[in-house]
A and B are shown apart, each in its own frame.
Chain A
Amino acid sequence: MPDVLPENSVGLVTPQLYHFDEPLPLRSGKELKAYDLMVETYGELNAERSNAILICHALSGDHHAAGYHSMDDRKPGWWDVAIGPGKPIDTNHFFVVCLNNLGGCAGSTGPASMNPDTGTWYGPDFPVVTVRDWVNSQARLADRLGIDKWAAVIGGSLGGMQVMRWSISYPERVRHAIMMAVAPKLSAQNIAFNEVARQSITADPDFHAGRYREHNTLPKRGVMLARMVGHITYLSDSAMREKFGKASEQLKQASLNLGRDLRAGKLSFGFDVDFQVESYLHYQGERFSETFDANTYLLMTKALDYFDPSVDYDGDLSKAFANSDCRFMLVSFSTDWRFPPERTREIVTALLKAGKQVSYLDIEADQGHDAFLLPVPRYMQALTTYLDRVKLEISSHAA
């Protein structure tokens, strides 16, 4: 809760709901007859409409990427470190758009919305949406906002997958595709973690086959477990040692620090929480379970599992990029074991094979997968330098 808003903040923002009546055909073969998208924008669209940047959110993100909704907010939007006046994604120069994706639970149409056909919640009847479906819906939002071509589309993790899909499905509408901590598709290990998360949710007795709202309850226990598992995969071993190994002076030496700080200073010799890491995961999981919809979590993990743009091109990702007309910038983080640097390099190699203009940075960072959301200095510097160049491009086009 800021007493005064920081100068480099986009300040107080109000999300806007956009309604779409034209049915959206989905990859599954189903369609959404009508839907709403919850959207936030920062900065001003210029007269040429050439300075718009789309931010794509990851698994648990939403449209609230920067600024505050009220002076009582505990925290700003999820990527406030990068978006604002004078920040890498500089709202003095760019018009920044971020939306809650379809199937989400932060205002866009999703399982927690009312199904007009039944008069009750969609719940488990909400169709499985894919990255491709999201990007199609984002393209319609761009039409509505009068944006023919994005100066850049930017995203990390599942957000990066949307960026990749933009460059393939709408090559004429993207100038720069910037992706962080991303993979061309999930590995068996990635899918396995997602399945554990899904099982945690569906096995919760309060899940009621996804119709928990009809039963006046929420499967909080399941969502909490899903988040705990997910959270472990976002952190690196070194980040956890650092975070949970502060108690003892002798442990200052990194190699000795295993992050085993106790919660109450002594072992309980029971099965309750003994270590800080346990209580942290409980806390994070519980908080998440109070706000995040269980059915949305299931949908988001499926969108991750299904993502594979090479599927239409005999498994050859470079062919998928054949028509892409943007410049690419990819960033990986050294301790990310969810999507490690090798996985990002697979995309770089495919782009090189396709003869595209691509830059790639391999950033040393201790924070694991989460690093893409954090103000890692080298990463912020590269983003700033890259986007400064995009600013120049826009102003020379306008001239």
Chain B
Amino acid sequence: MRPDLDIIQKWIEPGSRVLDLGCGDGALLAYLRDRKQIHGIGLEIDNQKINGCLDKGISVIQQDLNKGLQNFESQSFDTVLLTQTLQAVHFPDKLVDEMLRIGKNCIVTFPNFGNWKSRAYLAFKGRMPVSDFMPYEWFDTPNIHFCTVKDFDEFCRSRDIDVITRTVVDIKHRDSWIIRAFPNLLSEIAIYHFSRKPAKSEAA
């Protein structure tokens, strides 16, 4: 199990309804089904990954996240997941809005572009960062909307998104006091658990 997924699974309620956007081969949904008896649906675009889902008995819908999620009812899932995909969609803001509409709470993980390694790569080499973790060249990368932990914090603040938990880890998904102290500089992966802020009382 990918370590970020291990962190996420702790936030999933047993028996809940989970929608996994970009579910890959269904490993997380299968894990959650076996350990937490969730009712899961995955969305995936890649044929071979879809076959991986079918092989695990995971319900999977072939659908392009960039074409919207109109086929899902509002508040029809307990948790909507988006792991390591936010940076690859055309309109991350619209997708997060849709996640908040469909799910009572949402979990997003993304690579933190504010990490010191990315900064140093760009600063000293003067080229777009390429690493084992993000091995793409600028012209062929699926990752078209990189952001930093600070960017996403600001994004949540400006949109009345209530961040329930923010976990920042390094590439081995180790969590340490030093990363927590300097999340934007040291973390490589950011994991956010959030929901829509309850509407403010009209009486005031």
Which A residues fall within an 8 A CB radius of B?
Answer: 327, 345, 348-349, 352-353, 355, 357-362, 378, 381-382, 385-386, 388-389, 392-393
Contact = CB atoms under 8 A, between A and B. Distances in A.
B50 A389 contact: no
A345 B63 CA distance: 10
B9 interface: no
B41 A357 contact: yes
B39 A360 contact: no
B53 interface: yes
B59 A327 contact: yes
Contacts of B51: 381-382, 385
A386 B55 CA distance: 6
Contacts of A360: 60-63
Nearest to A353: B73
A361 B42 CA distance: 12
B71 A352 contact: yes
Given A355-B76, A382-B51, A388-B55, A362 B62 contact: yes
B73 to A, nearest CB: 5
A362 B50 CA distance: 11
23 contacts: A327-B59, A345-B71, A348-B61, A348-B71, A349-B71, A352-B41, A352-B72, A357-B39, A357-B41, A357-B59, A358-B41, A358-B59, A359-B53, A359-B60, A360-B61, A362-B62, A382-B50, A382-B54, A385-B55, A389-B55, A389-B56, A389-B57, A393-B57
Nearest to A350: B71
Nearest to A385: B54
Given A348-B61, A388-B55, A361 B71 contact: no
Contacts of A362: 62
B165 interface: no
A268 B176 CA distance: 84
Nearest to A362: B62
Nearest to B17: A355
Given A352-B71, A352-B76, A386 B59 contact: no
Interface string B27-68: 000000000000101000001001101111101111100000
A349 B73 CA distance: 9
Interface of B: 17, 39, 41, 47, 50-51, 53-57, 59-63, 71-73, 76
Contacts of B76: 352-353, 355
B47 A378 contact: yes
Q: Is the interface of B mostly helix, strand, loop or mixed?
A: mixed
Contacts of A348: 61, 71
B53 to A, nearest CB: 7
| Residue of B55, B61, B76 ringed by the most chain A CB atoms within 10 A | B61
Residue among A382, A385, A388 having the largest count of chain B Cβ atoms under 10 Å: A385
Given A386-B54, A388-B55, A389-B57, A361 B62 contact: yes
A349 B61 CA distance: 10
Contacts of A385: 51, 54-55
A361 B50 contact: yes
Given A378-B47, A381-B51, A382-B54, A359 B73 contact: no
B55 to A, nearest CB: 5
Given A382-B50, A389-B56, 6 more contacts: A348-B61, A352-B72, A353-B73, A359-B61, A382-B51, A386-B54
A337 B105 CA distance: 39
A389 B56 CA distance: 7
Contacts of B47: 378
Nearest to B47: A378
A391 to B, nearest CB: 11
Contacts of B62: 360-362
A392 B57 CA distance: 10
Given A349-B71, A352-B76, A358 B61 contact: yes
B204 to A, nearest CB: 36
A362 B41 CA distance: 16
Contacts of B61: 348, 352, 358-360
Nearest to B51: A385
Given A327-B59, A348-B61, A359 B54 contact: yes
Contact of A352 (B50, B55, B56, B73): B73
A331 to B, nearest CB: 9
Contacts of A388: 55
| 7 closest Cβ pairs, A-B complex | A349-B71, A385-B54, A357-B59, A360-B61, A362-B62, A389-B57, A386-B54
Contacts of A361: 50, 62
